A and B are shown apart, each in its own frame.
Chain A
Amino acid sequence: MKISQLLQPKSGQLALPLAIFLQLFYVIPLLVLIATSFQGEGGAGLSLKNYTEFFNNSVNVKVLIDTFLMGIQVTIVSLIVGYPVAYLYIKAPGFWKGILTFLITLPLLTSAVVRTFGWVVIMGRQGLINTALLQLGMIEEPIRLLFTHNGVLIALTQVWMPMMVLPIVASLSQIDPRLAAASQSLGGGVWRTFWQITFPLTLPGMISGALLVFALTVSSFVTPSIIGGGQLIYLPTLIYQQGIILLNQPFAAAVSTLLLIMVVVMVLILTALGRRSRRYIH
């Protein structure tokens, strides 16, 4: 190799400012956070005290499980509801595509607080859902949706749905239309073509969507605290209470680290799945 080649600037160097920025404002605070979570009594020494304290309290463990379940449930519901929406978008003619794009991204264009208060109005005892069900004679007493796990599930699904729909749309649009045509010309029906050709080819999109929705759901703060009220606590609310209100920063750091671990584990599982799905495609 010539010396002049060594001196040639690499394209990777262009990312240097961003790398320095991330180091300073993301990686270092994250390391400080993790270190704080192991802080011992009186701020000195290393200790697992905060973690043992967390797992020794059944309420905290319930919060951890509830948060994980909420993440899984919102991801599954978003997938079930979001896939047909993405499919419809791909099949829609040009004019409708514009309208659908607007409708799909609409939840992202308004503030989470506004969206959530909208759900308070819809899910209340005298809200849209209860009034409609009462007038249709399907229920006699208003059903309880606000301040329930299911209420939070509904609201979070709506809030994060675009994060599932958009990656699936991207996956669907990359599929060569000749594949479906080939399948049909070889005698494959609509369903068989979908399950054996289209669906497997969109797995990477679904996995990316699932990853985004899961991570955003388990770290949501505004929606669970308004729809869930003081009666339903998830990890972000617990972190807020411990860190800001009770000023117990080491414990809050430990809870944050657990939340981080939860997301990282999910990322690893889904990345492994993604690798398998790519093997299927090629």
Chain B
Amino acid sequence: MDRRFVNRLSRRSVLGAGIFLGTSWMLKACNANVGQDSGTVGGGSAVGEDIVVASFPGTTDAVMREEIAPVVAEKTGIDMSAQPLLAFEQVARVKASPDNPPFDLLLLDDGQNAVAIEEDLLQPFPADRVPNASDVNPGFKSDDGLAPVFFAQGIVMAYNPEKVTTPPTSWEVMLDPNLDAQLGLVSLNSILGTSFMVEMAKVLGGDESNIEPAFEAVSEMLPRVSGVAANPGALVTLFQQGEVDVSPMWHNDALTLAERGVPVAVATLDSGIAVARYSLNVVQNPTAGLDTALAGIDAMLSPEAQAALVAAPYFYIPSNDTVEFPPELVEVLGIESVDDFIAMSHGLDWATINPQRAEWIERFNQVVQA
């Protein structure tokens, strides 16, 4: 009888203890969040705080973790963690829980910034509270009250000089049936893919509002396309494996590949280089609090962080004017400063692209289906 009693008690106690522990754990978690919120908004010091920054998969994530996070920690004491997600995904996640966003800072391109503003996901940027913003090149400052550019990338044509002996001068070379090379494309989910389509359309007489020539071109080149990479990072792997000889690529990826000894050159195109600009903006209701978020942005716009972005092996175009460019950028793109890059590059009309982008992505996916 006694043993039965003990058994019954132990079952109940296990269950009860489980529920008790679970409930207290949940309550503690809720409480911790509240504490963190109220503590930061009121407090001025950022020391000991955490900040979650969205970054892109691949090299951007690597530079954020390995170079930028230590600079932020050293300058502000903020523990920064980067979460790699495509711009689309960042917007989707914040949109899913705007009151309790999973990130404090979003790293978005011009196109997705416009979408995020429309969805009311971002805060206006108080430039006077971020001292390093004054060092940003005027060409990289925002006209619509958002944060200045954090870094930029150029859309270039990368080719294998061992396979393509005559340096290409136009995107049209990808349509040349006599070109003995494997072509590579990248999905339009990426900014690189979308920008490439607009650049191709422009060369063939179209523009942001008339992408038709680019789709015709893709259909035409498809038999010679060796692979359509799911994202720009996968494209780099394909180039490295010799799977692809000619493709659109980020300028910095091409330079990184060259540094690793992969035979790759950047074509000097008559149409110039299109630019993709990225800025870090504070979400509405940041968990870390506005002060901490702004302190993080300030550290990331500092000369130290910006120098890490442009240095080998990353080669991003920084926005801070005081940073020196590495010799590789001078050699391959002929640019020595942020001004040089702005002068040689051109932006795209994302206000026109955005409303059509979903349709383009869907159409592209259907056109390239094997």
Contact = CB atoms under 8 A, between A and B. Distances in A.
Interface string B11-37: 110110011001000000000000000
B11 A230 contact: no
Contact of B228 (A9, A16, A126, A147): A147
B89 A225 contact: no
Given A230-B187, A244-B89, A225 B230 contact: yes
Interface string A108-135: 0000000001001100111100000000
A244 to B, nearest CB: 5
Interface residues of B, number: 38
B241 interface: yes
Chain A, interface size category, equals 20 to 34
B226 A121 contact: no
Contacts, number: 94
Nearest to B88: A245
B243 interface: yes
A59 interface: yes
A174 interface: no
A49 interface: no
Contacts of A9: 8, 11-12
B178 interface: no
A229 B228 contact: yes
A120 B237 contact: yes
A244 B90 CA distance: 9
A88 interface: no
B242 interface: yes
Contacts of B186: 230
A260 to B, nearest CB: 21
Interface string B114-128: 000000000000000
A268 B369 CA distance: 32
Contacts of A124: 238, 241-243
B226 A230 contact: no
A282 B320 CA distance: 77
Nearest to B370: A231
Interface stretch (B63-71, B200-208, B348-356, B359-367): B359-367
A126 B244 CA distance: 11
B242 A229 contact: no
B370 A149 contact: yes
B370 A14 contact: no
A79 interface: no
A235 interface: no
Interface string B52-87: 000000000000000000000000000000000010
A185 interface: no
Contacts of B237: 117, 120
Determine which residue in A14, A127, A226, A230 has the highest number of CB atoms from chain B within 10 A of its CB, and name it: A230
Contact of B15 (A17, A146, A241, A244): A17
B368 interface: yes
Interface of A: 8-9, 13-14, 16-17, 59, 62, 117, 120-121, 124-127, 144, 146-149, 225-226, 229-233, 241, 243-248
11 contacts: A124-B238, A124-B243, A230-B186, A230-B187, A230-B229, A231-B369, A233-B369, A241-B365, A244-B88, A244-B92, A245-B88
